[in-house]
Amino acid sequence: MSEPSRRAEGKSLGDGIAGLTISVADPAPDERDTDENLCNITDQGDLILVFTGGKWTSEPFRVDSERLRTESPYFDALLGNDRFKEGALLRDTHRRLREEGIRPSEARASKLPRITIAEMARLGPDPDHFIHEFLRILHGLEFSRCFFKVNDLACLASLADGFCCVQVVIKYVKERGLMRGLEGKFRKRSWGDFGERSLRQRILVGWLFTDPACFREGSCQLIMTGSRYWSDVEDISKYDQRLWWRLPDGIEDELQFRRECILETIDSLQRHLISLYTSGQRQCSLGYDNSPQCDSFQLGEAIRFFKRIGTVRLQGLIDDPTNDPSPSQQRSIQELIQTMRQCPSYQIDRNHSHCGIRAKLIPRLQKIESALAHDIGLNRDHWRSSRAVHSWSKTMPIARWSMPQHHNDDWWVPGGPNRRGSIMTFFTATTKDWT
């Protein structure tokens, strides 16, 4: 929670988590008694809350201020401190009601203090629904509707994050076994079928509500497909208030870093193949009179092929450090590898049938594919208990990785006795020797 802002005129908790702002209003005349849109979270409520965001305004909710303060540090700071005008309004209005012989919990809605929480992120076509259920959770009440969708839990978690009470929602969901109704749905569809929003929501739900398989598979898929959030050209202002667009606890940065490491590894292979034919060392070993011409031919065909598939210009585009994202950065890693596999067996004439880059490219691509097949996603237990050990971004990379000489060398085994044998070491190595 951000520090309360103190205004010169009647201090106020003006800025909250996720850009929330607060305004207060004195009770209006008695016509508010008949407010047909009033939603009673509890009939004994002593406060009216209204939420707004853009052109959207929620229905007014009658809530119990003490319950909100107990469950949410945000509301505790907002309502429990007389230095801020929200808390002062609540205290003064309740005092006036008691002087009139009226208990605040029994007062008409028109006599209760109203607080508007503005700049809320719109969670969907029916944001009132999520706010209603969220407030019921804070009051210890059952859901008024059936919640068996990932989007529902993700929206609730995002809403709770804005009010610093995610753990309250997590406890509520676990105690009622709501995740059991979702586990089967995670497995029925291919992960590749999910759009980025749904994929991110599944990662968030898997992390917060303890579904290790969902978290691992979802994080792996996001690494492979990439995110528009990670592109400098994408306007993320419309996403950043929703928790799944900035995954918590270091997950977002780790997933982006792992993808960048994998892309750089593929790019290093591409650079290696081109450098072979620009090094001055003879690659064609047949000893024919036209062997020098064969090397020049292969260099030209290699550059032409990589340029055609959009992975090279004067420098590699797979891990381009500039702000000009390339098609390779935006495409799926699996799609990128499959495209590179289409490299033809170029030959200058029929006597040079094994001189092309394909003979060197395919075995090395297979090494990368083998590593990718052994779970590059995040392990939930590891990320909670030993993050520093398993984080690619926090681990000191080795200076040089060399390609194993034996085909059956199980160099990819993670956590093995040979540190050079781990997937993390392979992808994060500063330099890769593909010879």
Give me the DSSP letters along 225-281. Answer: H--GGG-TTS--TTTTTSGGGS-TTTHHHHHHHHHHHHHHHHHHHHHHHHHHHHSSS
Q: What is the mean pLDDT of residues 91-116?
A: 92
pLDDT over 80 (residue 192): no
Name the band, by pLDDT with cuts 50, 70 and 90, for residue 120: confident
Confidence of residue 28 (pLDDT cuts 50, 70, 90): very low
Per-residue pLDDT at 296:
66
Go through 141-154 and write b for each residue having 16 or more CB atoms within 10 A of its CB, e for each that does not: eebeeebeebbbbb
The mean of the pLDDT values for the chain is 78
Amino acid identity, position 108:
R
> Does 90 score more than 70 pLDDT?
yes
Calculate mean pLDDT across residues 59-71.
95
Q: How far apart are CA 240 and CA 238, in angstroms?
A: 6
Once rounded to an integer, what is the mean pLDDT over residues 82-105? Answer: 90
For the ranges 242-256, 315-329, 405-419, the lowest mean pLDDT is seen at 405-419
More confident residue, 375 or 346: 375
Residue showing tokens 């759009």: 195
Does 31 have pLDDT greater than 80? Answer: no
The CA-atom distances, in angstroms, between 405 and each of 164, 321, 341 are: 53, 32, 21
Instruction: Specify the range with the lowest mean pLDDT, choosing from 63-77, 125-139, 270-284.
Output: 270-284
3-class DSSP assignment, residue 352: coil
Q: Say what the pLDDT of residue 97 is.
A: 94
pTM value is: 0.77
Region 33-51: mean pLDDT is 82
What is the structure's pLDDT at 398? 87
Confidence of residue 30 (pLDDT cuts 50, 70, 90): very low
Pick the range with the lowest mean pLDDT from 2-6, 117-121, 126-130, 382-386: 2-6
Per-residue pLDDT of 226-265, as tens digits, reads 998 887 655 555 555 688 988 999 999 999 999 999 999 9
Q: CA 12, 17, 21 angle in degrees (round to 5)?
A: 40
| pLDDT over 80 at 190, yes or no | no
The mean pLDDT value for 327-339 works out to 82
User: How many whole angstroms separate alpha carbon 337 and alpha carbon 306?
Assistant: 12
> What pLDDT sits at residue 421?
44
Q: Report the pLDDT value the prediction gives residue 380, as an integer from 0 to 100.
A: 94
At 139, is the pLDDT very low, low, confident or very high (cuts 50, 70, 90)?
very high
Report the range of poorest mean pLDDT among 86-90, 231-235, 358-362: 231-235
